[in-house]
Structure 1
Amino acid sequence: MPAATAARLGYRVAAARAAAGLTRREVHEASGVSVSMIRQVEGGTRAPSDAVLDALARALRTTPERLTDGPGPTDSRVHRAIPALQAAIASYDLPEDGPVRPLHELAVAVEEMTEARVNSRYSRLAEAVAPLLEELFRAVDRSSGSERHRAARLLASAVRSADAAAYKYGYRDLSARLVELMRWAAALAEDPALTATAAYVRTETCFATGRLGAGLRALQQAADRMPPPTTVPLAAAAAALHMRAAVVAGRAVDADSARLHLAEAERLVRGVPERLYDGTAVGPASVRIHRLAVAAELGDPAGLGRAVAEAGLWAPPRDLPAERRSHYYIDLGRAQTALGRPRQARDSLLLARRIAPQHVREHRQVRTELATLVRLTRGRDEELLSMARWAKAV
């Protein structure tokens, strides 16, 4: 077993033991595995045999698969809606006959999907988006000229909403297909701001695969291809690329690039009112939220300390989308945990949950954070433990 895999397994064993409220001695008595072996497994310095893993899982009231692979998907209506979404996009360029509403009515339906996405109402979104996509495929196929540009723009936005559900719930292959479909629709719309948005969304694939260098290069190339930011939508699209690039650079622990991209985003949002632009929240508050995210990714204690101190003096405006506000408190919790403040981190994650529960429950970093906090508090914080079980973090 590779060292990194052994470390992850040990981390999950330690979190499961804390969640069960058991000491190593008690696990030994229930499993027959020596205390020394348990300590080595939890520390990631020794990989357990199948027999040892089975015994530990029984003692911890879980399964070997859960310890090895981590938490499975949460139960959700989203999973039941995925086959219809897969079927809807299978023949995107050869749509079947059917009704098509006027574009102004389709625009209202697409806006509803966008609102569901940015406010993390994924179940509602997943159940409604497949027939909307089929109708938009027909609209694009039957139109021409400026009407086709409009239909393609609506399609790109609807596909982005569908991708949010697919990506959040772990359907990585479907998400990659949807991202390519969004890029196709953006090209049909012939709008550079929308093309930049597609490049922004494409970075999800790089997050999922860990190819951060490729993601950063793609964002930089997209920013370089942007026309001068002579309008507010163009400035917002460019700023979004730099905000995302700053986070990617932060995750790659490239502090210089992260700060440069943040500075460029801050320059671009001067005079850009905070609101959604092609479905992305952009403005001064969003840049500030990304500054905290970058600090959490870099993990530098001095930077984390400054970010947490600033957070004590500021909160995201309530008119920001729920997902963006929730992200802020998730990153604040990560920073507080890194600084050794588990109680504050717990409170931040609970606040994030109140703002956008579906977003928090499906967020991989939240699960990792909750498991860490359960381990640090030895499973004694009932509210934290309840949230960790709700999110399937332990």
Structure 2
Amino acid sequence: MDELPIGRRVAYWRGRRKMSQQVFADRLGKSKSWVDKVERGVRRLDKFSVLYEIADILQMDVQLLLGKDPERRADALNCIDQVEVQEIRAALERYDSMSAYFDAAPYPPPLDDMRKAVNHAWLTYQYGRYGMLTRALPKLLRDAQAADAAYGGEHAAEAAHLLGQVYQIASSVLRKLGECELAWLAADRSMAVAQRADDPLLAGIATTRVCNALVAMGRARPALELNVQIANRLAPTGSGMVSPAQLSVYGMLLLQGAMAASRIGDSASVDDLINGAAEAAARLGGDHNHYWTSFGPTNVELHRAAAAVELGDGGRAVEVHQLRIPEPAFNALLPERRAHHLLDIARGYAQIGDVANAGEALLRGDRLAASEIRCRPIAHEVMSDILRRTRGAPPSPIAELAEHMGVGV
């Protein structure tokens, strides 16, 4: 879009916001004729103050309005539009009272509609459709913020709960796509909102998002400490009744603590935390998706393999994959979980020098959830390693996947 005149870009983004010329002119304090002339290029936009005001009304970064879109990485072509990342950033970084947070508050979306939209976003994430999700997230964030700002009384807690979930969805997908600082910001917001929602379990699962972002930014030790601290707060006491949701959130805190411990080479803590999660999963009695955790015995084993990879023990990861994960239970998991695991196993095979099986694992993951393989930076590292260590030309399926990923053969 950087080749378009600025007036055409204004028209484009105004259309994306589903805003008429008259509404846009009213918010800008200009006439409809003025807007029309700007968009047709008859009138120049040469005052930065006006440009910033337009960008604010259109809820976007002024650099995008000027046509200075971030360069699209080769690995992003089939994955995530960097324009949408900037839109998500704009939705997350708005604080002033004129922002979209308050702008839509008089006419917030109905909570029934918000609930359906949030559930759909979770499923979009768990099916590994990251490009589709990032395109939907800017509006979902603005709608959830508007609902949280507008609803009070008996509806306040639910509105906050929904906003907290949207922040968690944003954090999860942004972290996978390498936008770690934005992932941390969204996760941090989700923790604050969870307290207003008065839901300790939402706060607990929000903690795992914060810690995942910290690990991605190289802050594994504080992530380990925070996961364990909150897990202890939510730990079942005695042999009394405990809800499946509590067991799931508690178990996920332990698993994410184990992943943080594996990043710093603390194998003893990894074993303790995974074994604790296994006890919670056994008590839960199967694989479930409470609070969108996909927690259960199978997911525990997936994390056992992932932690082994992080510890550099690819052989152990492959052993867990082959001997400890029943195929029917694995196939019953949602696509994102299975593809994520196959990416971990590809890394494990690569660690032991089995590049053929590493490539096959990537291909299997790609068939399940292409975005999990084609869009994640860690998958690109694995593919580069496979290509570098393959003697002669790589098999055609691997070469095709590498091309789709933007990884040079």
When normalised by structure 1's length, the TM-score is 0.76
Residue 127 (structure 2) aligns with: 119
Residue 265 (structure 1) aligns with: 277
The alpha-carbon distance between structure 1 residues 159 and 302, as it changes in their structure 2 partners (threshold 3 A), is closer
Residue 373 (structure 2) aligns with: 360
Shift of 1:156: 1.1
Residue 388 (structure 1) aligns with: 402
Are the equivalent residues in 1 in contact too, given 2:315–2:348 (CA < 8 A)?
no
Residue 350 (structure 1) aligns with: 363
Q: Which moved more, 1:154-163 or 1:302-311?
A: 302-311
Runs of at least 4 residues off by over 6 Å: none
1:212 aligns with 2:220: yes
Q: Which moved more, 1:130-139 or 1:220-229?
A: 220-229
1:74 aligns with 2:76: yes
Distance, in Å, in 1 between the alignment partners of 2:382 and 2:196 is 41
SS of structure 2 residue aligned to 1:269: helix
How do residues 42-61 of structure 1 correspond to structure 2 at under 5 angstroms? Answer: none
Are the equivalent residues in 2 in contact too, given 1:379–1:385 (CA < 8 A)?
no
- Alignment-mate amino acid for residue 102 of structure 2: P
Residue 332 (structure 1) aligns with: 345
Are the equivalent residues in 2 in contact too, given 1:334–1:369 (CA < 8 A)?
yes
Shift of 1:100: 2.1
Identity %: 23
Shift of 1:105: 2.1
Distance, in Å, in 2 between the alignment partners of 1:294 and 1:192 is 27
Are the equivalent residues in 2 in contact too, given 1:296–1:335 (CA < 8 A)?
yes
> 1:198-246, CA deviations, whole angstroms, 9 ceiling, x for partnerless residues?
1100123222221211211111111122253621111110000111111
Are the equivalent residues in 2 in contact too, given 1:118–1:323 (CA < 8 A)?
yes
The alpha-carbon distance between structure 1 residues 236 and 105, as it changes in their structure 2 partners (threshold 3 A), is same
Q: Which moved more, 1:178-187 or 1:133-142?
A: 133-142
1:131 aligns with 2:139: yes
Shift of 1:73: 4.4
Shift of 1:316: 4.9
The alpha-carbon distance between structure 1 residues 225 and 343, as it changes in their structure 2 partners (threshold 3 A), is same
SS of structure 2 residue aligned to 1:253: coil
List runs of 5+ in structure 1 lacking aligned partners: 1-70
The alpha-carbon distance between structure 1 residues 311 and 360, as it changes in their structure 2 partners (threshold 3 A), is farther
- Alignment-mate amino acid for residue 259 of structure 1: D
Residue 18 (structure 1) aligns with: none
SS of structure 2 residue aligned to 1:348: helix
> 1:177-198, CA deviations, whole angstroms, 9 ceiling, x for partnerless residues?
2112111211111111111111
Which of 135, 150, 169 is the aligned partner of 2:177?
169
1:100 aligns with 2:123: no
Shift of 1:360: 1.0
When normalised by structure 2's length, the TM-score is 0.73
Which of 217, 235, 243 is the aligned partner of 2:255?
243
- Alignment-mate amino acid for residue 174 of structure 2: A
The alpha-carbon distance between structure 1 residues 115 and 362, as it changes in their structure 2 partners (threshold 3 A), is same
Shift of 1:143: 2.3
The alpha-carbon distance between structure 1 residues 309 and 251, as it changes in their structure 2 partners (threshold 3 A), is same
Residue 178 (structure 1) aligns with: 186
Residue 14 (structure 2) aligns with: none
Are the equivalent residues in 2 in contact too, given 1:99–1:135 (CA < 8 A)?
no
Residue 62 (structure 1) aligns with: none
The alpha-carbon distance between structure 1 residues 305 and 228, as it changes in their structure 2 partners (threshold 3 A), is closer
The alpha-carbon distance between structure 1 residues 233 and 368, as it changes in their structure 2 partners (threshold 3 A), is same
Shift of 1:162: 2.0
Q: Which moved more, 1:310-319 or 1:180-189?
A: 310-319
SS of structure 1 residue aligned to 2:289: strand
Q: Root-mean-square deviation (CA), in Å?
A: 2.3
Shift of 1:379: 4.9
Which of 300, 303, 306 is the aligned partner of 1:293?
306
Distance, in Å, in 2 between the alignment partners of 1:128 and 1:185 is 21
1:374 aligns with 2:382: no
Shift of 1:268: 0.7
Distance, in Å, in 1 between the alignment partners of 2:170 and 2:319 is 37
Distance, in Å, in 2 between the alignment partners of 1:310 and 1:202 is 32
Shift of 1:332: 1.6
Q: Which moved more, 1:220-229 or 1:319-328?
A: 220-229
Distance, in Å, in 2 between the alignment partners of 1:89 and 1:313 is 41
Distance, in Å, in 1 between the alignment partners of 2:296 and 2:192 is 27
Residue 321 (structure 1) aligns with: 334
The alpha-carbon distance between structure 1 residues 288 and 145, as it changes in their structure 2 partners (threshold 3 A), is farther
Shift of 1:167: 2.4
